[in-house]
Structure 1
């Protein structure tokens, strides 16, 4: 993403709030790639990602008056998209995935699945995980949430969060081993706690499933 769209121009924010023609679509197109990168990580496929994306942008466009323009825009946008994905998870999954090992402590080296895949490969594998595993893995391993924060966000115990992360890593390792037998995968380290959604910037062409803009905006 170029520097020109990393921040939300003050005039564009004001135009969106006032409903000036074309302003909301301009914001949507400018930040589509960044937001879609986040949504894809939490979704099982692109169709679900688009649903999360459109719901998230609707919230963005209707809450711009709450955004403090003196602060960076991307973290604010990222938080809304992540929270929208969590809301989607809550709505779709009535019974969170649990484990008999409720108080499992995650141990071992951190140079596991994340450091063995490039980002695109990781996303493809993460999308195949069950919703509970996928959500916890994203929140902890990529977005930097603690297990305590995840437990509060998803309404599960800290032990369940740790267990789901452990199971997610197990499944990803198994899939990685299977893929290693088929094709060579590039190795790029992905740092825990640091969002890497920017890698997706401007790779995707915006495509709407439903109307998310106000009339004329």
Structure 2
């Protein structure tokens, strides 16, 4: 275990010096983890790969300021989420805000329990409209609070709640349709 930590520290040190071999090894080491995050936020695998590659560029720039006492996975997770949101930021300015005054408690209700595999659930999430997919991932999967979600997306609380409620309703309809 201690050797793995030292190896990771050496790998990060190499990446901060822009050593291409270290960057490639870090990329390969965390490819699956990063792609898993990006797949949830993207419409499809192609967009996920594009987001992930941009995310790794951001990671390589961020390693200069990286605190080695913190887990590198946390940094990668945060950067991949932020890169995913940035990818769709232009479309986020066109959020549908009609009817947000009528948001009820439905947005806090969990989805019905269905025996679905990860791949099918991922496919359903990827079919959500961009804004709903981002809000749903941040709140329901990645555990961001209402306030954090609002701040990350630069939107009002009501708008995010409205989109979360719509995402849950859409996913429930998809799941019920597949029964």
What is the TM-score normalised by the length of structure 1? 0.74
Q: What does 1:173-212 align with in structure 2 at a 5 Å threshold?
A: 173-180=172-179
Which secondary structure state, in structure 2, belongs to the residue aligned with residue 9 of structure 1?
Answer: helix
Aligned CA-pair RMSD: 2.5
Say if 1:35 and 1:53, in contact at 8 Å, map to a contact too.
yes
**Match of 1:77?**
76
Say if 1:42 and 1:127, in contact at 8 Å, map to a contact too.
yes
**Match of 1:142?**
141
Mark the CA change 1:109 to 1:129 in structure 2 (over 3 Å): closer, same or farther. Answer: closer
| Larger fraction in helix | 2
**Match of 2:13?**
14
Mark the CA change 1:80 to 1:109 in structure 2 (over 3 Å): closer, same or farther. Answer: closer
Distance 2:108 2:102 in 1: 19
Q: What does 1:89-168 align with in structure 2 at a 5 Å threshold?
A: 89-102=88-101, 104-107=103-106, 110-113=109-112, 116-168=115-167
**Match of 1:37?**
36
Distance 2:122 2:6 in 1: 26
- Consecutive unaligned residues in structure 1, runs of 5 or more: 181-217
- Consecutive unaligned residues in structure 2, runs of 5 or more: none
Distance 2:27 2:117 in 1: 27
